[in-house]
Structure 1
Amino acid sequence: MTSNFSQPVVQLCYEDVNGSCIKTPYSPGSRVILYTAFSFGSLLAVFGNLLVMTSVLHFKQLHSPTNFLIASLACADFLVGVTVMPFGMVRTVESCWYFGAKFGTLHSCCDVAFCYSSVLHLCFICFDRYIAVTDPLVYPTKFTVSVSGICISVSWILPLTYSVAVFYTGVNDDGLEELVSALNCVGGCQIVLSQGWVLIDFLLFFIPTLVMIILYSKIFLIAKQQAIKIETTSSKVESSSESYKIRRKAAKTLGVTVLAFVISWLPYTVDILIDAFMGFLTPAYIYEICCWSAYHNSAMNPLIYALFYPWFRKAIKLILSGDVFFVFFLFFFFFTIFIF
């Protein structure tokens, strides 16, 4: 007598390899939807930020300390789209890591470094806008190209040093050897962080975010006060009114950028903090949703610039019309060669 019940077939990442990780398959329709959504975000992060970099660096009219910071931020987001999102897409949809353990460590290192670089860039842009609004007369002498260069250097050096020190020394999973051993299987790329390092990661998100919120709140209040003053003396200072409108629009754009950043990153940061103190019980799909919410922040900034910056829209038209397309292509080519 045979049983009518069949055992579910367990799929492995590597069918012919002992110790292979178990694969969590999606239906064909779900796979198509996921690959489409993730590919769109990755392409937008790559080509959108490449357009920002090309616009700022090619057009001399856009050479300013603020725009250099924006171009450097776009570079960090571009690198997220090139080095992190495509491989993360395969990891998420296939639930397996097919790129080797060494590249898995490199991928995690790039993930942390470029994402935290974006955080620091945004923080320095907030400082820039704060000085521009609170002290516009001396702003050109305070926030110079040299100061912008220092901010850019710090935004790159600190995250790269931190990520290399954490992931290439193995200190991230100190005290979690048993858990790491249990998770260790062929086809997996799960980076485990101890509670101490999770708290550090949380502070690396929380402190810059708090600084940005405080600065933007002050910018908003000062802009409101300036609006009242300009309304009462509008007939006397037409030129200052025009200058105020430009600064207010820049502050508004910054506010939207900061808000998008907080909304994108908050779920991931809260999830890893709770997970570390609750025994890593978060379902994989919840973690992936939070992770991709953070990744997609790198694709959102070019959309914000396109909506709020007329100079960016004009630059896009010139680039895509063919006048600067060759320069755009060279940027993409050399960045790709440099990375790979």
Structure 2
Amino acid sequence: MNITELQQNITIQYCFADISSSCRKEVRTGPAYMFLFIILSCISLCTVFLNLLVIISISHFKQLHTPTNMLILSLAVADLIVGMFLMPVKIMELADSCWYLGQVGCYVFPVINGLSLSTSLCSLIFIAVDRYIAVSDPLLYSTRISVCKMYVLIVVGWSFCLWYNIIYLYFNDHFFQSQINCYGECVLFIKYYWVIVDLVICFLTPCSIIIILYSSIFKIARRQAKAVRAVAVSKCQGDKVSKLSETKAAKTLGIVIFVYFTCWIPFYISSLSFESVTSVSVVWTVFGWLLYINSSVNPLIYAIFYSWFRESVKYIVSCRIFESSSSRFNLFPEHM
């Protein structure tokens, strides 16, 4: 797939043939584009499927109604919105460059887009804070953190993200749409100073918090592993427990930070190289999809690595969740 091949497969038409002010449609056809659309559609379906499994598991099984899992549920809901609504709209827009959802849809879509991505990041931060408290002070964790408190925290987080995104779009003149040139166009123009503001609020700050907290978790896990090794019945058993704890902490830290950087750094670094960014630019399209793909990877990191998720998926796939007592199934077998 190369640029020349893609350009040769673009046919110019109009978004709305019966409207004189209609925008031109760039119908992208050919094997290269078909392959791209199939890949993106598969990513969208996988994002919806994986996050639905997480949502059904945590919502259905009472054993999973814990403060930490409420945060994972919030993360899955945000990522589900990305896979179910944002990705299909972007695929449709990429197919022929037209906007078919009307002016109201043009106003609402960027709000939903920003809300889902920012709440996903917000949930990652809350999960890091929750894990830090659980590791640093496990004896008092149950008294300090409850499901009800976590519900309040989640509502506050979603409300803040919604408030921030409305302000972000308002000051970038999105709700006025003064720069729309033709019918069938929906373009978001981001002013450069707002790129800087967004970089600090939605990247540098979350990045710093996550790195600091997971680094602290790793250090605490190492200290606890040494303590377990010191009091173990045999030195051999102690070494085994220590190595397992340190390996698990290092693996979690590495995966979280690597995925976070991989998905978010390219977008912001590229945005800084332009005086302004538009939603139809190559930068926004390519690196914006990296942000979406992060929503596909999140359930893999925060749920699939847990034994309870694998157990709940077995019950869901086998339709055993429709049994009357299924909500009380034990997802933590003694051998696991």
What TM-score do you get using the length of structure 1 for normalisation? 0.80
Map of 2:172 onto structure 1: 172
Q: Is the 8 A contact 1:133 1:247 kept in 2?
A: no
Q: Is the 8 A contact 1:131 1:139 kept in 2?
A: yes
1:191 to 188, 199, 204: 188
2:291 to 273, 290, 294: 294
* Structure with higher strand content: 2
Structure 1 unmatched runs, 5+? 1-7, 328-340
Map of 1:332 onto structure 2: none
Change (3 A) 1:157 1:122: same
Q: Is the 8 A contact 2:218 2:246 kept in 1?
A: no
Alignment of 1:172-251 (within 5 A): 172-173=172-173, 181=179, 184-205=181-202, 206-235=204-233, 249=248
Structure 2 unmatched runs, 5+? 1-9, 325-336
Q: Is 2:260 the partner of 1:264?
A: no
Distance in 1 (alpha carbons) for counterparts of 2:96 and 2:85: 18
Residues 52-93 of structure 1: per-residue CA shift (max 9 Å, x gap): 011111111111100111011111111122221111111122
Distance in 2 (alpha carbons) for counterparts of 1:34 and 1:221: 43
Q: Is the 8 A contact 2:190 2:277 kept in 1?
A: no
Map of 1:3 onto structure 2: none
Distance in 2 (alpha carbons) for counterparts of 1:112 and 1:326: 39
Distance in 2 (alpha carbons) for counterparts of 1:58 and 1:244: 35
1:102 to 101, 104, 120: 104
The CA deviation at 1:254 is 5.9
Secondary structure of 1:11's counterpart equals strand
Change (3 A) 1:243 1:62: farther
Map of 2:71 onto structure 1: 69
The CA deviation at 1:307 is 4.2
Distance in 2 (alpha carbons) for counterparts of 1:130 and 1:269: 28
The CA deviation at 1:13 is 2.9
Map of 2:315 onto structure 1: 318
The CA deviation at 1:272 is 2.9
Q: How many residues align?
A: 311
Q: Is the 8 A contact 1:65 1:144 kept in 2?
A: yes
Map of 2:333 onto structure 1: none
Distance in 1 (alpha carbons) for counterparts of 2:242 and 2:229: 14
Secondary structure of 1:193's counterpart equals strand
The CA deviation at 1:217 is 1.2
Map of 2:92 onto structure 1: 90
Map of 1:154 onto structure 2: 156
Change (3 A) 1:263 1:82: same
The CA deviation at 1:103 is 0.2
Change (3 A) 1:105 1:247: farther
What TM-score do you get using the length of structure 2 for normalisation? 0.81
Distance in 2 (alpha carbons) for counterparts of 1:146 and 1:105: 34
CA-based RMSD: 3.1
Q: Is the 8 A contact 1:80 1:114 kept in 2?
A: yes
Residues 127-149 of structure 1: per-residue CA shift (max 9 Å, x gap): 01111111222222222223312
The CA deviation at 1:255 is 4.8
Change (3 A) 1:281 1:43: closer
